[in-house]
Amino acid sequence: MKKYSLLLVLTLVLSVFLAGCFGGDTAEEGNTGNESEGGSSDAPQELRVMETSAIPVMDTILASDTVSFTTMNNVNEGLYRLNADQETVPALADGEPEVNEDGTVYTFKIKEGAVWSNGDAITANDFVYAWQRALDPDSGSSYGPYLMEGKIKGASEVFNDGADPSTLGAVAVDDQTLEVTLEKPVSYFTSLMAFPTFFPQNQAFVEEQGDNYATSADTILYNGPFVLENWDGSSDGEWVYAKNTEYWDADNVALEKITFNEVKDAQTAVNAYESQEADITTKLSSELVPQYEGDANMVSWLEPTVFWIKMNQTNEALQNLNIRKALAMAIDKQSLTDNIFNNGSIPANYAVPKEFVQHPDTGEDFREANGDMLTYDVDAAKEAWAKGLEELGVDSLELRYLGGDTEAAKTSDEFIQNQLETNLEGLTIKLESVPFSVRLERDKALDYDLQMAGWGPDYLDPISFSDLWITDGGNNHMAFSSEKYDKLLKDAESTYANDPAKRFETLQEAEKVLLEEEAAIVPIYQRQANILVNEKVNKFTYHFVGPEYSFYPISIGE
């Protein structure tokens, strides 16, 4: 289903393999960028933003890319949304839900007075309808099944077995009350409720529009801070947000207009910024970051996005633990991030990123307990390599390395090739640089030996990474299987589902099995982002998961 995250299909392709990663200093408070006190201002409350792509889709159940999700996050909303501190806070939910004792039934109250842009009241049935529609196999939704199966009761039966949609564990008790029944406790459930797939839809309007629904600005209903204007569903490179005067919190939305322009090249975005034709750029490519070192208007943050090399264990040589360990310890990641990327990205000696999630009791970062694993160690790599070759009864190996076809991807892949061949005697790496769509096909077909891949989370929980490697999982695609790892994940999601601390620690233990005991992947780096934001823009807000930005907190100062 998603991974390379369907959510990140664009960002991983365009950012990873086109521009590497990003870096710099993080904002001091939450994820807001420029924080000058705007107060009341006579400046026009208009913003100009550069974007890497036109909006692909605006039907919330069909979206699978960052640009669409970000747009939906600003023109619509669900029960919750993310704030500047990466916390989920009630949006259309009127306060926190009631939750039963075993954590499987959530009762939400819908905010009274919240309406669609046509004046219709937003009701609990709007959520039920959207979720049922997302599970209709004919709808074409990829995120609906991915996010609901195994979580919301009856979702699997509706999607896979043709069960009546009314059997889904989402019920409108009355217009203002939504009751959701889960298969088992889901500790991050409210985080899921901020994801656009779970946004409501007005049934009467959707059915009235039929096949035209969400194909243009006029065939969408809005319930968020803004509405779309002059968007006709095409790939034309300009679109506009206008303030939604019907929004329940419109009094706290300062911006009146946001104009977006599509630019494919980071240098073009920077040129527009420097000529005062844009207020916010796209993410800077590696070669541009050093030019803005120390610039107060370059906003930077460490993304919870990790890249690694997958090792396909259908290859007999890669079934050997010593061979995998050797490959994992033979790459100088620090040199890669410092000299090839040179933009603040950091070496990753882990699978779950740093500065992403914290222990529910101690508040410690996930990385505190596990630290670094599979670090660069040439001597240890050579020793493991020699043992592995002896166990295989060979004195050399050739491995196919599947990478991207952009210049940036080729540069980093060639660096890794050189590291492996230099440090592991008898190893030949055959680089195969292909377009991203081809790489996805070959990944699913397990047609590779080594492959550069990456992952960014959709919700604020380590399981968003941990479940990538479960046996026969939909995103495994490298024939890795560990009974011990599978049991730890099962324990985390069932036995300890109502014990947040024990669950968290079990997922930490699983990461140790994945890397220290199995050396299943070769962690490479964690990405940072850099973006230029005009000093007049107050409270620029980005997010770690789901939609990338929220524009409603922004105001323009003098």
Question: What are the tens digits of pLDDT across the range 82-108?
Answer: 999 999 999 999 999 999 999 999 999
Average pLDDT in the 56-66 region? 92
pLDDT for residue 264: 82
Strand partners, 526: 306, 346
Q: Is the pLDDT of residue 8 over 70?
A: no
In degrees rounded to 5, what are phi and psi of residue 139? -75, -25
Average pLDDT in the 338-365 region? 95
pLDDT digits (tens, 9 = 90+) for 428-469: 999 999 988 788 899 999 999 999 998 889 889 999 999 999
pLDDT digits (tens, 9 = 90+) for 520-538: 999 999 999 999 999 999 9
Q: Is the pLDDT of residue 377 over 60?
A: yes
What spatial distance separates the first Cα and last Cα of the chain, rounded to whole Å?
A: 46
Q: How many whole angstroms separate alpha carbon 399 and alpha carbon 102?
A: 49
pLDDT for residue 27: 31
Q: Is the pLDDT of residue 118 over 50?
A: yes
Residue 30 pLDDT grade (very low, low, confident, very high; cuts 50, 70, 90): very low
pLDDT for residue 519: 98
pLDDT for residue 235: 55
**Which pTM value belongs to this model?**
0.84
pLDDT for residue 528: 94
Residue 79: both structure tokens together: 């029960």
Average pLDDT in the 237-242 region? 93
pLDDT for residue 432: 97
Q: How many whole angstroms separate alpha carbon 229 and alpha carbon 520?
A: 48
Q: How many whole angstroms separate alpha carbon 320 and alpha carbon 322?
A: 6
Q: Which residue has the tokens 């790496």?
A: 429
pLDDT for residue 34: 53
Return the percentage of the chain with pLDDT > 70, whole number: 92
- DSSP 3-state assignment of 533? strand
Q: How many whole angstroms separate alpha carbon 33 and alpha carbon 56?
A: 27
Q: Which CATH number fits domain 304-528: 3.40.1170.10, 3.10.105.10, 3.40.50.720, 3.30.70.100?
A: 3.10.105.10
Mean pLDDT (the chain, rounded): 91
> 3-class secondary structure for 411-439?
HHHHHHHHHHHHHCCCEEEEEEEECHHHH
Q: CB-based burial of residue 312 (10 Å sphere; 0-12 exposed, 13-18 middle, 19+ buried)?
A: buried
Average pLDDT in the 160-180 region? 97
Bigger pLDDT: 396 or 458?
A: 396
pLDDT for residue 278: 97
- What fold characterizes domain 9-18+44-262+533-556? D-Maltodextrin-Binding Protein; domain 2 (3.40.190)
pLDDT digits (tens, 9 = 90+) for 281-339: 999 988 899 999 999 999 999 999 999 999 999 999 999 999 999 999 999 999 999 99
CB atoms within 10 A of CB 85: 11
- DSSP 3-state assignment of 18? helix
Q: Where are the domains of the chain?
A: 9-18+44-262+533-556, 304-528
Strand partners, 174: 177
pLDDT for residue 18: 31
Q: Is the pLDDT of residue 14 over 60?
A: no
- Burial letters 86-123, b for 16+ CB under 10 A, else e: bebebbbbbeebebeeeebbbebbbbeebebbeeeebb
